[in-house]
Amino acid sequence: MISWEESGAGAPIVFVHGITEDRHSWHSVVPLLEDSFRCIRLDLRGHGQSSDADDYSALAMTDDVAAVVAEAGITEPPLLVGHSLGGFVVTAYAANAPVRGIVNVDQSLHVEGFAAALQSVAHQLRGPQFAETFNALVEPLMTDAMPEDDFAWATAMHRFARKDVVGGTWGALLDSPPAETQALIEAFLPAVRARYLAIHGSDPGEPYRAWLNTVLPNATLEVWAGDAHYPHLVEPERFATRVREFIAS
């Protein structure tokens, strides 16, 4: 069972959170949009109030989005907003389903380097050092610019991360040759034809920007300097305004 909730009325927006987190991630953004939009936020499998599953891969999690879209009775293509892992999930979902557009919050789609880095600590992630290793990986993504309550919430989510869920989600990154994983991603990206907005809290660099524009010609990349991994929590008003502009345009 995939747990979800909704508020507001209007064109649908589906929000998908990052790894080890839950739909609370959108608590400061949704109230700024629900006057004009039907805002639906879900907990991915193995997260929040959703059930466990046999497969925690990011590609399998696209089924979670599909299940909520169907259960919510959404009949028009929704806007999809995903943070981190959620950014990858909504991108992969859009390769096989009609969507109004995609907002990817701080999730690189070029994962070859990240996969290589993960493989260097694969033994620790799969052993008794999981918790300290995982937290060492995600701690640099945080920023003091986040509201204090949000910083505490995200820290707690990471501290109590489940090894089986993280291991399943990062399985391909940990086990497959990095170039092979990257090729798998690049194989489905041409099917993503909807307008695409990528918001990054730190500059991913000109090579990534050029690559993204090649694989997703409809993509716009923005850098919100200083927001680290959480632009939607650091600047919720700006984020909500940008979503409105993206839909209107």
Query: What's the rounded Cα separation, in Å, for the pair 237 and 230?
Result: 13
CA nearest to 43, candidates 70, 23, 72 = 23
In this structure, the dihedral spanned by the alpha carbons of residues 232, 236, 238 and 240, taken in order and rounded to 10 degrees, is: 90
The strand pair at 79-83 and 37-42 is best described as unpaired
3 state SS of 233 = helix
3-state helix, strand, coil in the chain (%, to 5): 45, 15, 40
Query: What's the rounded Cα separation, in Å, for the pair 47 and 109?
Result: 22
Query: What's the rounded Cα separation, in Å, for the pair 51 and 221?
Result: 34
17-56 b/e (C-beta count within 10 Å ≥ 16 → b): bbbbbbbebbebbbebbbeebbbbbbbbbbbbebeebeeb
- The reported pLDDT for the residue numbered 50 is 98
- The reported pLDDT for the residue numbered 30 is 98
Supply the CATH number for residue 189's domain: 3.40.50.1820
If one counts the domains in the chain, the total is: 1
Task: Please report, in tens digits, the pLDDT of each residue of the chain (249 residues total).
Answer: 999 999 999 999 999 999 999 999 999 999 999 999 999 999 999 999 999 999 999 999 999 999 999 999 999 999 999 999 999 999 999 999 999 999 999 999 999 999 999 999 999 999 999 999 999 999 999 999 999 999 999 999 999 999 999 999 999 999 999 999 999 999 999 999 999 999 999 999 999 999 999 999 999 999 999 999 999 999 999 999 999 999 998
Domain that holds residue 54: 4-248
Query: What's the rounded Cα separation, in Å, for the pair 12 and 35?
Result: 12
- Residues 6+ positions from 25 with CB-CB distance below 8 Å: 15, 17, 18, 41, 83, 232, 233
- The reported pLDDT for the residue numbered 147 is 97
